A = this chain, B = another copy of it.
Amino acid sequence: MKDYESLLKAHGLKNTFQRVSIIKAIDKAGHISIDDIYKEIVVYHPSISLATVYKNILTMKELGLVVEVPIANAKSKYELIKNDHIHFICQKCGSVEDKPITAKIQHFFEELVAHDAFKLLSTQNNLYGMCHHCHAS
């Protein structure tokens, strides 16, 4: 991802410095909490308000630009919209990594929901444990 301005425009949002900063922070981190988005931006743009981050995350979520990743025993993180995937969540350091979902699994999910007449829209698959790095230390 690079052209954040177009991304905003495509979703009917005005192009502000604050918004570009928010998207940039999410894109850079991959997965990041609201608080951490704010902390990152405030360094180089001290006048930004936390309320602005909250408002924009809400808007971007509603427009489907950003997706909330709720995490057990932690605050939600946010990611830019992407295809369904699997999260490796380290319970020690809190890191979140994406892994591709295979067609096989996708298919399995589709079979599962079909059986129940559940209309599937998206999936979130969190694998909790310890990342390589934390496990080694």
- A residues contacting B by CB (< 8 A) are 61, 67-73, 76, 86, 88, 90-91, 97, 99, 102, 104-105, 108-109, 112-113, 116-132, 135
Copies in the assembly, this chain: 2
Q: Which of B72, B91, B135 is in CB contact (< 8 Å) with A70?
A: B72
- What are 16 A-B contacts defined by CB distance under 8 Å? A68-B73, A72-B76, A86-B109, A88-B116, A88-B118, A90-B118, A97-B116, A105-B108, A116-B132, A117-B135, A118-B130, A118-B131, A118-B132, A121-B130, A122-B127, A124-B125
Residue of B whose beta carbon sits closest to that of A70: B70
Give bound CA distance, A131 to B116, whole Å.
8
Contact B119 A129 (CB under 8 A): yes
